[in-house]
Amino acid sequence: MGDYTTWVGIDDSADQLDIAVFYGNEDLPRHEFSVVNDTKGLGLLMKKLKTMPGEVRCVYEAGVNGYHLYRVFQKHGIACDVVAPSLTPRKPGDRVKTNRIDARKLATMHRSGDLTSIKVPKEEQEAVRDLMRGREDALEDLQMTRHRLGGFLLRRGLRYRDGKPWTQGHLKWLKGLTFENQYLQQVLEEYRLALDEATERLKRFEVRVEEAAEREPYKKLVALLMALRGVKVITAMTIIAESIDLKRYLSAPGYMDSIGLVPSEFSTGNKRRQGPITKTGNAHLRRVLVESAWHYRWAPGLSKAMKQRRKDLPADILAIVRKADQRLHKKYTRLITKGKSSKIAAVAVARELAGFIWAIGQAA
């Protein structure tokens, strides 16, 4: 494409877009300018880009603007790539950073093929992902509310000792608490109200998630993923929403890497040293997979509910999940026997669990 391509780097922020435009293989940008990041500014940008010669190729880093800019470019028929900031090359000795310089670098690195583009979800896919992340936020809010209430009661010498916390018995105990001091009573009532509101908010999210899981294109894949131990509706929908499309990953190791579950490595010469997992991938996926991995510490056995979930599944899917039952339990047991901590063992199991999820995605 060379001289017939116009390369456009965009450094985006909530307020404005800084643009650098290179014609072909020119060393210096032909144009540099800024536009306000609003409907009017984007309209002016589209008009200007359409007057530029050859094929126009734009690029920006995924960030505060999400995929909105990408969809505006698509609507106007202008090619645009969204790249992963964590995979953008950075020179260790480079200590100067401005919006204009960043825009230049994005354009030139895009031209040289040094950037890694990410898969942009369809609007429906992004909406489901936001639904799952909203549910995750609601869960975090509920946990924080519980911690605050628990801490308040501990400072008053009160602790529930007749069973596990946040069970029906615990909640009944909470409702029966009172303080003679009006200020303490006010705090208790507000915390209890916040707890009720956070609980109801989480329930509303989970009802909507379960409704979505019953619709296509999610229903079939949710049923297949739930054949794995430790995977129920919420986990299955999180996997689907965050992965976008399991078939886009060319291999199981590639999928594991995208979740940040592969070991870091520091090797030189004949020396090879592996460290902790990279944690550079999708944190939402990594969390649910590690949670599911804990179920494989128990010897394989099927509950009535699991038998029902596996009923009438295709033979190739059953082969995958049965292999996962045996392999992942052995993996966990072997690592514990070698003296590894349970957390390290669970993460290792989660890494291989990702491989089985990828296999189900390919067979679906």
User: What does the DSSP assignment read for 250-291?
Assistant: SSHHHHHHHHT-SEEE--BTTB--EEEE---S-HHHHHHHHH
Single-letter amino acid code for the residue at 117: S
pLDDT of the residue at 14: 93
DSSP codes of every residue in 43-62:
HHHHHHHHTSSSEEEEEEES
pLDDT of the residue at 88: 83
Q: Return the bridge partners of 154, or none.
A: none
Query: Cα 258 from chain centroid?
Result: 10
pLDDT of the residue at 87: 77
Q: Return the bridge partners of 82, or none.
A: 60
d(CA 9, CA 81): 10
Please, which contacts does 41-47 make with residues 24 or more away whose CB atoms are closer than 8 Å? Answer: 41/16, 41/17, 42/17, 42/69, 42/72, 45/17, 45/19, 46/72, 46/73, 46/76, 46/78
Q: Determine if residue 244 is left, alpha or beta; phi over 0 gives left, psi from -120 to 50 gives alpha, anything else beta.
A: left
DSSP codes of every residue in 133-184:
HHHHHHHHHHHHHHHHHHHHHHHTT----SS-TTSHHHHHHHHT---SSHHH
Choose the weakest-confidence range: 120-134, 223-237, 273-287. Answer: 273-287
pLDDT at 4 over 80: no
pLDDT of the residue at 85: 87
End-to-end CA gap in the chain: 38
Task: Give the pLDDT band of residue 52 (cuts 50, 70, 90).
Answer: very high
Cα–Cα distances (Å) from 291 to 154, 258, 343, in that order, read 29, 18, 10
CATH architecture of 2-112: 2-Layer Sandwich (3.30)
Alpha-carbon torsion (8, 9, 13, 17), positive or negative = negative
Tokens encoding 15:
């307020």
Helix%, strand%, coil% for the chain, nearest 5:
55, 10, 30
d(CA 265, CA 112): 27
Omega into 217 within 30° of 0, i.e. cis? yes
Mean pLDDT of the chain: 93
- Tell me what the mean pLDDT of segment 53-80 comes to: 94
d(CA 277, CA 237): 24
- 345's CB contacts (< 8 A; 6+ apart) are 297, 331, 332, 335, 336
Single-letter amino acid code for the residue at 281: G
d(CA 256, CA 353): 9
pLDDT at 1 over 50: no
Half-sphere exposure of 315 (CA within 13 A, CB side): 0
Task: Give the pLDDT band of residue 272 (cuts 50, 70, 90).
Answer: low
**Which pTM was predicted?**
0.89
- Tell me what the mean pLDDT of segment 222-229 comes to: 97
- Provide the residue ranges of all domains of the chain, joining segments of one domain with +: 2-112, 123-213, 220-363
- Tell me what the mean pLDDT of segment 289-297 comes to: 97
d(CA 294, CA 242): 21
pLDDT of the residue at 217: 93
d(CA 210, CA 207): 5
pLDDT of the residue at 265: 67
Task: Give the pLDDT band of residue 275 (cuts 50, 70, 90).
Answer: confident
pLDDT of the residue at 64: 87
pLDDT of the residue at 274: 73
